[in-house]
Each structure stands twice: as C-alpha cells, then as structure tokens.
Amino acid sequence: QHIGEGPWAGGSGGTGNAGLGGRAGPFRQDVGQDLVILTEEQQNEIPDEWHETAKKLADEAYAHRLQDLEMTAFDEKEYAAAREAVAGQIQAMRLVLQSHEAKERERAWLKQQMHGELDDTRIVDGIVGARNVYLRRGE
C-alpha cells in the first residue's frame, strides 16, 4: 500500500514527490487511505543520501517496469511522444464512450401510463377525458 504525498507512484518528473508521470510511472495506487503529506521543512530535513537511494530505487523500478513491458527507454520515449500526439483524441473518445455508457444505464420514461407523474405534453388529452396521461420511469 502506498503512503506518500499523493495517490500516484513516481513524481511530477522527479523522485521527491508522488504525483503524475514520475520515474516510477503514472500508476494509480490510491485505495482510499489517508495520505501522509510532508511539510516543506520536513522535506528539506531529509538527508541527501536518502534522496540518492530513492533515485536509485526509482531507476530500478523504472527499468523493471520497462522490462515487464518488453520496452527500452527509447521505445518508451517514442510511445510517450506518439501518445501525447493523440492525447486530445483519446480524451474525447473516452468522454463519448462514458456518455454512451451512462445513457445506456439511464432509465427511460414510459409514456401513456395510467399512473405516475403527469405528462405535461398530454394535459389537453387529460382534460378531454384520457386516462393515460402519466409518465413513469422504466427499465
């Protein structure tokens, strides 16, 4: 379980802070636990040898992750550049798919029901005696 300054492995380009896209990668590790956040003074009190050890461990984790993915550092840089070029389109497609999934899960209104909420579009029909002027949520 990750306990650090953020819910991400790595840092924002460095090794001192957990964040996005650091040395260990942008892998989400948040499981709802309380995060321990160090103040600026506490961070400055950390000995340099600890930073060097952390950098070494981060480099090893990065190399191990690349090995798991069967990639070299060059491959990773090429992948990152290609992904960055289409990041906007990826985000747009995610939004479209999420919207579609939400719409599929959404229940529809069943019209011309005998009971439920009054259908505003059928008020005149109700005045002339129609009984099926209500809406209900359906599956």
Q: Do the beta carbons of residue 18 and residue 27 sit within 8 Å?
A: no
Burial of 11 (0-12, 13-18, 19+ CB in 10 A): buried
3 state DSSP class of 84: helix
Residue 19 is predicted with a pLDDT of 47
Domain segments of the chain as ranges: 1-69, 71-106, 108-137
Write out the two tokens for 12: 């924002």
CA dihedral 71, 81, 27, 94 (to 10 degrees): -120
Q: Per-residue confidence of the chain (139 residues) as pLDDT tens digits?
A: 445 555 555 444 444 444 444 444 445 555 566 666 777 888 888 889 998 999 999 999 999 999 999 999 999 999 999 999 999 999 999 999 999 998 888 878 889 999 999 999 999 999 999 999 999 988 6
Distance between CA 137 and CA 139 in Å, rounded? 7
Q: Do the beta carbons of residue 62 and residue 24 sit within 8 Å?
A: yes
Residue 9 is predicted with a pLDDT of 53
Residue-level length of the chain:
139
